[in-house]
Amino acid sequence: MKKGRWKKGLVLALLLACTGTVNVRSAGHVSALEAAEQAGSPITVKQYGEEEDSSFSFRLKRTEHTTCTWKDTSGIADPQLIHQTGNGIERWGQMVTSDAQKGKISCYLTNMGSYKGKNTNLRITFTDWPSYRTESGERYYPVLGVSLSLTTDFYGLIFSDIWYEAKMEILDDQGRPLAVNMTYRADDLDFGQIFGVKKSDAISGLAVPEDSRVYYIDRDGFYYFYADNIASNEYEKDSVQVQYKNASAFTLRVGGGVAFPDSFTYTRYVSEKVKKDYERFRDHLVGESSVEESTNAGAILGWIAGSARGYGPFTPPVPVKSVDRTEVHGEDSFTYRINFKVPECQPADYYQSLVLTDPMPEALTVEKVVVYDADNQQDVSTKFHIQITKGTSDQVKVSARDTSSAWIYGRSFEIRIQVHKRPEYIFGKSNVVSNKAGLSVDQKTPKETEQVKTSFYYQITTEAKNGSITASNLKVPAGGTMQVTYSPLPGYYLKSVTVDQKETDKNQHISGYSFTKVNADHHIRVVYEKNPILTITKEVKGKWDEFGTPVFLFQITGTDYNGISRTYYEALEIPEQFKEDGVYRKSFIMQIPAGIWTVREIPVSRYRMTGIKEVENGSIEGSTVRLDTKDHDTAKATFCNELVNYGDFSHNDLEINVFGKQVGR
């Protein structure tokens, strides 16, 4: 690659041509455009203006902090190093003198750009070159080197007429391989120059422009491109674009003049021109008088540099939206994240504007917006205008303050929008909100994210005393319905049902409660109390003959804990025999609702009541007893009777008395 402003400083007086070349139109030479038409060809033809994939916009480049360290570990006596500066150019290189130097010469370039927040460094190892001799058998070797522009961000591989192979390794600051997606574009292949791409590398795309003038050949495990133009400023016509995917290393072959057999630049022997050029170049070796400051590169050198410039603009960034929670509880805050990368590009391709807009769903309101450098996780909000417009639906607008600044290009950004549900918003049939954002450059149609969906829920917490209930903390879709069921432990009754600290009519919710159109958290508490035990004991004195079973009747009336009046009847039979003048006791138990109950014995023949005793949690009122099971789990009383009349009746003659239907049982 030779940019016009570089040529002035380097005074490349001789154009890398070789004597003895065959005509460019000779048979067997295939243009890259023709090769692209063949089935299975690796070459793609790009139309000018066709958008490039921005995921490959990264390129290696010189930065203001780039340094170069040149090494030769072969141990040869005279390494013949080159180091030149002048007219905005600095170059390092070496004239090879032995095949023993293969793989032993390297160049380490630091601070060659940033990829996803990681600094990139480049190690170039010169691994191979061909054998060329004069007709008398004298061996010639290539000139190796790198060149940095001190005024632009270009770097280049310097080469002579004899080609060489260079392994390019991308490393992080710890010297570890760093896999990148990148573009390497070789511009301005001049007459006699070759550019070879190793086929086994992680090549994602290989392209030439629609009016390409380069030629193509596939051999020795490389895709080779070469050209025949002389002193042309139409760099794009003579360019090749390579895109690497997830690559930490790749290998190139570059050179000019004498190239490889069967190409139009091939000559069998080193030409007289090459001999003269090499002799003149020796004046610029380290230690020679002219080396420290030189505007004359030695006429035999050219270079190829990687460029991020595409045949069309890089695809404007396509934003990707995500959310930190797909399920949100009520009015909890959550965050939308919108990620996009601004392609790395040349200043001529910088944007005029870059604006992201995000209309919020009606259900949400915006709390704050922050912009991060996604690679370095640094807050860069000051580099952007951030506007939040409140309304029925909030609007977010984020725009770059200065799109003419190189700082923004090649970076990945993350816009974080923190939101929460509006307190007054009521969910209806759906508990899901959808949202998408759009990113526009140069006022073009925005490129939109996929829709991001978030569902909302509330929680029903449950509590039961002396019973079981539907599990607590269950999620209920906002606007939805949930049925809570509950039941008592054996021997317990429903005392109360409280929802959100308000007691409800438990008789309407005996075994369950339904929450409908849920738009808030709720709590339900169910209390069961132990069924009180009311014990009545009959104590009878006196022997009876075997002419019937005596039956005693009791009436229990009162008001339960709900204030409902109830009446119960209970009969007690005593079929057992006992001695004359003996005492017999028998009891019955009633499990009726808690309340205040008055118990009386209905008179029967042959027995008279002599009194009431052994009262527990109650009081005697004449011939009745008042028992309290509202505030107590148990209540007791003993009714005493004695036999007074045998007569001609059986004891169970009393069964003919009809007291009617028992109330409340």
Mean pLDDT lowest among 179-193, 243-257, 603-617: 179-193
Tell me the C-alpha distance between 31 and 214, whole Å: 6
- Residue pair 625/618 in contact by the 8 Å Cβ criterion: yes
Q: Is the pLDDT of residue 649 over 70?
A: no
Average pLDDT of 135-142?
Answer: 84
Assess whether 117 and 255 both reside in one domain: yes
pLDDT tier at 26, thresholds 50, 70, 90:
very low
Tell me the C-alpha distance between 587 and 170, whole Å: 97
Assess whether 491 and 573 both reside in one domain: no
Q: What is the DSSP string of 78-133?
A: ---EEEEEETTEEEEEEE---GGGTTTEEEEE----EETTEE-EEEEEEEE---EE
Q: How far is CA 575 from CA 544, 549, 552, in A?
A: 10, 5, 12
Q: Burial code of 640-658, b = ≥16 C-beta within 10 A, e = fewer?
A: bbebeeeeeebbebbeeee
Assess whether 150 and 16 both reside in one domain: yes
Sequence-ordered list of residues with C-beta below 8 angstroms from that of 527, at least 6 positions apart, any chain:
464, 465, 466, 494, 495, 496, 497, 498
Mean pLDDT lowest among 106-110, 182-186, 416-420: 182-186
Tell me the C-alpha distance between 287 and 364, whole Å: 72
- Residue pair 577/608 in contact by the 8 Å Cβ criterion: no
Assess whether 415 and 521 both reside in one domain: no
Q: What is the DSSP string of 171-190?
A: E-TTS-B--EEEEEEE----
Amino acid at 584: Y
Assess whether 339 and 253 both reside in one domain: no
User: Which residue, 399, 421, 450, sits at the end of a domain?
Assistant: 450
Assess whether 324 and 352 both reside in one domain: yes
Kindly state whether residue 574 falls inside one of the protein's structural domains: yes
Kindly state whether residue 315 falls inside one of the protein's structural domains: no
Assess whether 374 and 465 both reside in one domain: no
Q: Which of 574, 570, 602, 568 is nearest to 586 (CA)?
A: 574
pLDDT tier at 235, thresholds 50, 70, 90:
confident
pLDDT tier at 3, thresholds 50, 70, 90:
very low
User: Which residue, 418, 450, 482, sits at the end of a domain?
Assistant: 450
Taking residue 409's Cβ as centre, other Cβ atoms within 10 Å add up to 20
Q: Which domain holds residue 12?
A: 4-290
Mean pLDDT lowest among 153-167, 407-421, 639-653: 639-653
Residue position matching structure tokens 């025949």: 228
Kindly state whether residue 346 falls inside one of the protein's structural domains: yes
Assess whether 326 and 267 both reside in one domain: no
Q: Is the pLDDT of residue 602 over 50?
A: yes
Give the DSSP H or E segment for 278: helix 272-281
Assess whether 175 and 225 both reside in one domain: yes
* pLDDT tens string 453-473: 999 999 999 999 999 999 888
Q: Structurally, how many domains does the chain consist of?
A: 4
CATH code where residue 646 lies: 2.60.40
CATH code where residue 332 lies: 2.60.40.740
Assess whether 622 and 538 both reside in one domain: yes
User: Which residue, 530, 547, 575, sits at the end of a domain?
Assistant: 530
pLDDT tier at 583, thresholds 50, 70, 90:
confident
Tell me the C-alpha distance between 10 and 87, whole Å: 8
pLDDT tier at 259, thresholds 50, 70, 90:
low
Kindly state whether residue 142 falls inside one of the protein's structural domains: yes
Kindly state whether residue 298 falls inside one of the protein's structural domains: no
Q: What percent of the chain has pLDDT over 90?
A: 52
Assess whether 195 and 336 both reside in one domain: no
Assess whether 285 and 329 both reside in one domain: no
- What is the CA angle 79-7-72, rounded to 5? 15
Kindly state whether residue 140 falls inside one of the protein's structural domains: yes
Kindly state whether residue 663 falls inside one of the protein's structural domains: no
Sequence-ordered list of residues with C-beta below 8 angstroms from that of 39, at least 6 positions apart, any chain:
none
Q: Are strands 624-628 and 618-621 parallel, antiparallel or unpaired?
A: antiparallel
Kindly state whether residue 173 falls inside one of the protein's structural domains: yes
